Amino acid sequence: MQSINNIVIIGAGNLAFHLGKAFYVIGKNILQVYSRSEGSATQLASLINAEAISDFNAIATTADLYIIAVADDAISEVADKLQLNDQLVVHTSGSVGMEVLSKGSNNIGVFYPLQTFSKLKDPDFTSIPICLEANSQLSLKLLKSLGEELSNQVQFVNSKQRKVLHLAAVFACNFPNLLYTAAEKLLEENDLSFEILKPLIAETADKVQQILPSQAQTGPAFRNDIKIMNQHIMMLRDHKALEEIYVMLSRIIKKQKDNEQL
Amino acid sequence: MQSINNIVIIGAGNLAFHLGKAFYVIGKNILQVYSRSEGSATQLASLINAEAISDFNAIATTADLYIIAVADDAISEVADKLQLNDQLVVHTSGSVGMEVLSKGSNNIGVFYPLQTFSKLKDPDFTSIPICLEANSQLSLKLLKSLGEELSNQVQFVNSKQRKVLHLAAVFACNFPNLLYTAAEKLLEENDLSFEILKPLIAETADKVQQILPSQAQTGPAFRNDIKIMNQHIMMLRDHKALEEIYVMLSRIIKKQKDNEQL
């Protein structure tokens, strides 16, 4: 095999959905979309000219690549059932080791796009880092070539590094979104629209595209402005959870400024 | 007075710097830049064709507007010394009430641009919300007209709401930057470049331009994926501060999902 052309997608969640569409757009032949839920399989399959299946035994054995894009704790079970010989099988998870695929095939790997996906918003794959791993040089080469058809940022990342990336992504994506939610609540209660914070959120994320975040910290905690911090803590007296966040993160900003180990 | 043309800027920090340049670009006449540090005053004044002064008594009494853009706890002291009659005096702070200006002049107000500023990066004022307050309808009208020459997002915001905005901005800007810093540290220790997280950070901020953050939460805590969370906590065992952040914010994501009061 010179390159990957025929693909089976196992799973029909957000990532399967966007990855399936992206492969279809670059001309790959998506043979099948498998999902336990026939509706989900059909929804994706109909968009990308694939067969929708919900019977695991109907999965074709002739594809070049099997992409397992299911919940983390279902990956090994799916792989165990695949029972292929040498066809390339990958999962798409940040936190699961490659080795859980080993009963599925002799050729295994990981194809992890480091991005947050939602059904409502089409991602631009060209700028999404794709983190690859495989158990042979040939598979790695095939995945690299496939990845580069989608994205300008293809990297080899081992299982240990990938887990660190996923943890770092929780800090860089999931946790900031909670803090945006805290801001949303505070504004809502005071008849202010979330609209007014959007430019600030955009600029804060844009700044670290150019300057490392450790060099970009600002705010009352960084300035050690105790008067303002006390005023803020007073304002949060009816929001115990937000007060806890405020106190802890302010303290850690000070630690970071003082070059203490976080 | 029909509109504000002649301006004195008191202060030469990040905000004074960018505001001074922005007013100069739209054709305002910046009479003077005052700073205790002659160097800072000169640096800004020379860019915007203004006189640099470091002697407070040399401040002209003939300007249409005096902008006090100094540290929060120095605002009232500066205002007290101004001793003007009816010339309009404003400060630019999110957290300080308008009334601290009352000894400076009979006409006072607030001109608060809700954005994070750094010397290295020129802001686009057209999209920055400018929050206004004044003690007379005439002053409010003059400030509104000035604000609209700079920005498409001019709003009237009273002192109480402005304090809430500033607090919300800490959650939406300063705290997310700390979390980006945490991610930076984790990557650095594992020979991974911060570069790889930039698209994720950009997309996370971009998503809430379209969807409210309370509707956009994802991640292991939101899915209640205990196995992954335990793995992450293990990985943070040498980073006590980051472990504390991880545990607390994960717990609060769960609360938010369960619609509990934050």
pLDDT class of B251 with cuts at 50, 70, 90: very high
Contact A245 B242 (CB under 8 A): no
For B:92-121, CB contacts with A below 8 A are 95, 114-116, 118, 120-121
Among A73, A173, A187, A192, most B C-beta atoms within 10 A, so best to mutate, is A173
A172 contacts chain B (CB < 8 A): yes
Cβ atoms of B113 and B15 within 8 Å: the answer is yes
- Residues of chain A below pLDDT 70: none
A206 contacts on B by Cβ (under 8 Å):
202, 205
Percent of chain B with pLDDT over 90: 94
**CA-wise closest residue to A125 among A133, A114, A136:** A114
**How far does chain A reach from its first CA to its final CA, in angstroms?**
48
- What pLDDT digit, counting tens, does each position of B20-39 carry? 999 999 999 999 999 999 99
> Which residue of chain A has the CA closest to B253?
A178
DSSP string, B158-206: -HHHHHHHHHHHIIIIIHHHHHHHHHHHHHHHTT--GGGGHHHHHHHHH
Kind plus residue range of the DSSP H or E element containing A229: helix A226-235
Q: Select the more confidently predicted residue: B12 or B2.
A: B12
B170 contacts on A by Cβ (under 8 Å):
219-221, 232, 246
Return the pLDDT at A86: 92
**CA-wise closest residue to A161 among B237, B233, B219, B196:** B196
Return the pLDDT at A84: 92
B172 contacts chain A (CB < 8 A): yes
- What pLDDT digit, counting tens, does each position of A13-48 carry? 999 999 999 999 999 999 999 999 999 999 999 999
- What pLDDT digit, counting tens, does each position of B65-115 carry? 999 999 998 999 999 999 898 999 999 999 999 999 999 999 999 999 999
Contact A186 B164 (CB under 8 A): yes
Among A15, A75, A201, most B C-beta atoms within 10 A, so best to mutate, is A201
Return the pLDDT at B211: 93
- C-alpha span between A187 and A162 (Å, rounded): 37
- C-alpha span between B114 and B127 (Å, rounded): 10
Q: What is the 3-state secondary structure (H, E, C) of A241-254?
A: HHHHHHHHHHHHHH
> Which residue of chain B has the CA closest to A180?
B172
CA distances (Å), A40 to each of A46, A56, A80, A121, A126, in order? Answer: 10, 15, 23, 18, 26
**CA-wise closest residue to A69 among A125, A113, A30, A107:** A113
Contact A207 B174 (CB under 8 A): no
Return the pLDDT at B262: 87
Among B119, B154, B179, B191, most A C-beta atoms within 10 A, so best to mutate, is B179
Question: Which residue(s) pair with B130 in the sheet?
Answer: B113, B154
Among B158, B249, B261, most A C-beta atoms within 10 A, so best to mutate, is B249
Contact B225 A73 (CB under 8 A): yes
Return the pLDDT at B231: 95
- What pLDDT digit, counting tens, does each position of A77-108 carry? 999 999 898 999 999 999 999 999 999 999 99
Return the pLDDT at B134: 98
Contact A116 B207 (CB under 8 A): yes
B179 contacts chain A (CB < 8 A): yes
Return the pLDDT at A262: 87
Return the pLDDT at A119: 77
Amino acid identity, position A216: A
Structure tokens at A207: 């700044």
- C-alpha span between A92 and A166 (Å, rounded): 12
Contact B201 A208 (CB under 8 A): yes
**CA-wise closest residue to A67 among A88, A39, A86:** A88
Mean pLDDT of B141-159: 96
CA distances (Å), A135 to each of A15, A108, A194, A213, B227, in order? Answer: 23, 6, 48, 35, 25
Return the pLDDT at A2: 83
Closest CB to A165: pick one of B180, B196, B212.
B196
Cβ atoms of A187 and A193 within 8 Å: the answer is yes
- C-alpha span between B220 and A86 (Å, rounded): 33
DSSP string, B11-61: --SHHHHHHHHHHHHTT-EEEEEE-SSHHHHHHHHHHTT-EEE--GGG--S
Q: What is the mean pLDDT of chain B?
A: 95
| Residue A212 to chain B, least CA–CA distance (Å) | 8
- What pLDDT digit, counting tens, does each position of B168-205 carry? 999 999 999 999 999 999 999 999 999 999 999 999 99
Cβ atoms of A16 and A40 within 8 Å: the answer is no
Q: What is the mean pLDDT of chain A?
A: 95
Percent of chain A with pLDDT over 70: 100
Kind plus residue range of the DSSP H or E element containing A199: helix A198-207
A173 contacts chain B (CB < 8 A): yes
Return the pLDDT at B121: 80
- C-alpha span between A150 and A152 (Å, rounded): 7
